[in-house]
Amino acid sequence: MTTLPASAPGHRSGARGTDGPAHRAGDPSRRMGAVFVSGYVVLLLAFGVLPTVYAVWLSISNSRGQLVGLGNFIRTFADYRFLSAFGHVLLYLVIWLGTLMGLVVGLALMLHGRMRRTSAALRFLYYIPGALAGVASVLLWLIMLDPAASPAGWLLRAFGWETLAQVIAPDHLPALFTVIAFWTGAGGWIVIMYAALNNIPDEVLEAARIDGAGVVQTALRIQLPLLRKWIAYMLILAFAAGTQLFVEPQLVSTVSWGMISDSWSPNQLSYLYAFQAGDFHGAAALAVNLMVVGLACASVVVFRAGLFERD
Amino acid sequence: MSTNDSKRTRRAALTAVLACAALAAAACGSADPGAGAAEPRAAAAFTPAPQETGGEILVWADATRVPAVEQYQKAHPDAKIKIVTYSGNANGANDLQTKVQLFDRTGSGWPDVAFSTTFGDVAWASAGGAQGRQPYAAPVNRGVIDKSVLDGFATGALDPCTVGGDVYCVRNDLAQNVLWYNKKLMADFGYEVPTTWEEYRALGEKVAKEHPGYLVGTAGDPWAPEVYFWASQCPASTLTAPKKVTVDLGGDKCTRMATLVDSLIATGSISKESVFGAGFIKEKADKILMLPGPSWYGQVLFASTFKTPDKQIAAASPLKFSAEPTNYTGNVGGGVWFISSHSKNLKAAADLVTWVTTSNDYQATAGTYPAFKQAATAWLEKQKESGYFAEDVSAVFTEAAGLVWPGWSATQYSQEAIYASTVVPALNEGKTITSVLETWETAIKNKAASLGYTVESP
């Protein structure tokens, strides 16, 4: 019979098993952990899980409380605004996620590798716009994008845009929202990626260098694979935020005196269902659609990137 | 992927499909949101809440109207009022309806009095909600406000508030269109003020040639359809029953105006921008020779926003087509006051609404033309005293107040928002209004249908 060393995983597992639940419950550090987590759990249940369950119930029922199956979903799929709203957001996501992934990772690698002396100042500079609340940053950009008021008006005129209406033409919106979102949110991600790069042991990078890997090889074969989970994490959160687009088109619509459709994004369409048509069930169906898409994409990323696997 | 994984995935997909099929099969009710909604209640069914005399009333008003409520409070120190400042539903905002939908669900919180800049709000405020909920607005002619007060409003002023013979709001001001012009510039250029749309077009073309850069109008404002197409009697939306609407932008009365505006946009004498755009104010405000627009343009636009000097701006009668016997005007806004049918202080609410809409103390000094006849007379007198206009605008304003074409109905959807999101981007892409008339019509029909209207062709 083989005797497992004391440090072997199986042995530790066995030891936990013999300690039993009574011992675990009595462990002060575990109790403290449960206390810390409980606040989050309560808030999650109150403002996350319960509203979600309520939304799912609304989406499969009608105003008389009868079950209608997928009726509300079918009705909203047939809405003349459905495809355009989801199409707008899809296009925005493609541009936004592509730009975010490429530029954030690229800038973080550059700051970490080539610009270590100035990286602290640059990271701080990138981070500052994130301090502005979402609405404030959109308002700021609406001034920046008006050739008559913007300090960069000359640049806009160079593109042939003389008025705000020409700048915020419906076709330009996915790209403009990407610029706004990148300016507001990317700085925080660069800081996080930089911290993640710092976690890669110097010995590993040193070994790669000794093996003849250049900057690009090191980035592609060492750093990016080790950043995989962080990139996946960023992807999931940015995707979730992107599908929830509401403030930006709503504000742009207001300042352009309605030039942008009030159902530009799915969330706006859901808002119209609830508060213009008084149809909370249709609104819930649209919201559930977004949740299902978000959960499906997040699941793919989580499992593909092994986000929940322990190293 | 291993065989086991593949089996698991297939099993999960099958389960999901079966779950969806079961869910679809389990349906026992209709998903049509209109199926459970009650027909708009007859006013006879209006049942006031138990009254609590002396309690506080909650008033929602926009920043422009808050001083009116404060002035009432000053004149009535015993009145208990809580004021909430909100958007007033301006620029396509939807706050009041949004909140009322929520109050309907929670059964409390409705403001006793609410001001709205959009008389289209009457459409939903006068209709019962799902499950037979009482409409938000009280029929004020049912013993809430004296008939003698309601009779004092300008002819037709309360028409947009009237549904099924009952009055669901009280009009604050009128927004009849006139032809604004710069008297000094017209004299300098040696032009006569036009009286017909044909003369207006000819002058616009002349201006483009002789004084390029000067403007005779704008088409980039959301309210451009209310200025041009309403005046042309274009039936963009005509209600034939509470939830039935006729939409027809293909007729002559629409195309004649589309062609006219297109031709002047092409020459450059009608701008594609909005009069409130920062660029327009900075670069074009002093280039306005003529501007068909609402009565509130005088003080709000020319005096406050454009800072056009005194004694330059004058108003002429709304234009007419030479083939028509009468000139008509559209109506750009004109705020309304609602009294909540759920109010426990109907008397206090009615007293406030009566005062702010009829009192010379407030209305005579307001920025916009009062809907109450007596206050309008006092208001016009004040305009004369202000010495801002180049000529007395009284006769023109009074004439235009009675010329609003009645064929354009107040609907739950905003004509302004649909024009702004459909036609304005097309104009900025270099297209003409005529080329997008069909798209515009489809957008109106789609929006109407999405809000439960039955759309009929003429």
In order of start, what are the domains of chain B with their CATH numbers?
Answer: 3-174+332-401 (3.40.190.10)
Q: Does residue A70 fall inside a structural domain?
A: no
Domain that holds residue A167: 80-267
In a domain, A165, yes or no: yes
- For chain A, the domain total comes to 1
Read off the pLDDT of each residue in A110-115 and give the average, rounded to a whole number: 78
Q: What is the mean pLDDT of residues B421-441?
A: 95
pLDDT at A60: 95
Task: State whether A68 and B222 contact (CB < 8 Å).
Answer: no
Direct distance between the N- and C-terminal alpha carbons of chain A, in angstroms, rounded to an integer: 30
Average pLDDT score, chain A: 85
Asked if residue B351 lies in contact with residue B170, where contact means CB atoms within 8 angstroms, the answer is no
User: Is pLDDT of A9 > 50?
Assistant: no
- Answer yes or no: is pLDDT of B33 > 70: yes
Question: Residues B400-406: what's their mean pLDDT?
Answer: 91
Q: Which residues, including other chains, have CB under 8 Å from residue B376's CB and lie 6 or more apart?
A: B154, B174, B363, B369, B370, B397, B398, B401
A4, A10 Cβ separation under 8 angstroms:
yes
Residue A163 lies in a domain: yes
Tens of pLDDT, residues B372-384: 999 999 999 999 9
User: What is the overall mean pLDDT for chain B?
Assistant: 89
Is A148 within 8 Å of B282 when comparing Cβ atoms? yes
pLDDT band at B23 (very low <50, low <70, confident <90, very high): low
Q: How many CB atoms lie within 10 A of CB A301?
A: 17
Of residues B27, B98, B417, nearest to A67 (C-beta): B27
**Which of B29, B220, B412 shows the shortest C-beta gap to A68?**
B29
Read off the pTM. 0.84
- Given a cut of 70, whether residue B291 has pLDDT beyond it is yes
- Lowest-confidence segment of A35-49, A63-77, A226-240, B12-26 by average pLDDT: B12-26
CATH code: domain of residue A231: 1.10.3720.10
Using 50, 70 and 90 to split pLDDT, how confident is the model at B209? very high
In Å, how far is A87's CA from the nearest CA of chain B? 17
Q: Which residues of B touch A262 (CB under 8 A)?
A: 92, 417, 421
Whether the Cβ atoms of residue B239 and residue B230 lie closer than 8 Å to each other: no
The Cα–Cα gap between B161 and B119 comes to 7
Among B130, B417, B428, select the one facing A258 at the smallest CB separation: B417
A72 within some domain? no
CB-CB neighbors (< 8 A) of A169 in chain B: 425, 428-429
Confirm whether A24 is domain-assigned.
Answer: no
Distance, in Å, from the CA atom of A245 to the CA atom of A248, rounded to the nearest integer, reads 7
- Is residue B91 within 8 A of residue B386, CB to CB? The reply is no
CB contact under 8 A, B101 and A275: yes
Which residues in chain B touch residue A64, judged by CB atoms under 8 angstroms apart? 29, 36, 131
What's the pLDDT band for B46 if we cut at 50, 70, 90?
confident
A121 vs B187, residue with greater confidence: B187
- For residue range A52-62, list pLDDT tens digits in order: 999 999 999 98
Whole-number pLDDT of residue A135: 75
pLDDT value for A256:
82
Q: Has residue A59 been placed in a domain?
A: no
pLDDT on residue B22: 62
Confidence grade of residue B324 (pLDDT, cut at 50, 70, 90): very high
Could you tell me if residue A38 is inside a domain?
no
Check pLDDT > 70 for residue A210: yes
> Average pLDDT, stretch B306-319?
96
User: For residue A34, is it within any domain?
Assistant: no
* A chain contacts of residue B272, beta-carbon cutoff 8 Å: 163, 165
Say yes or no for a CB contact (<8 Å) between B421 and A262: yes
Please determine, for residue A215, whether its predicted confidence score (pLDDT) is greater than 60: yes
Query: B333 pLDDT exceeds 70?
Result: yes
A18 pLDDT more than 60: no
Residue A119, pLDDT above cutoff 80: no
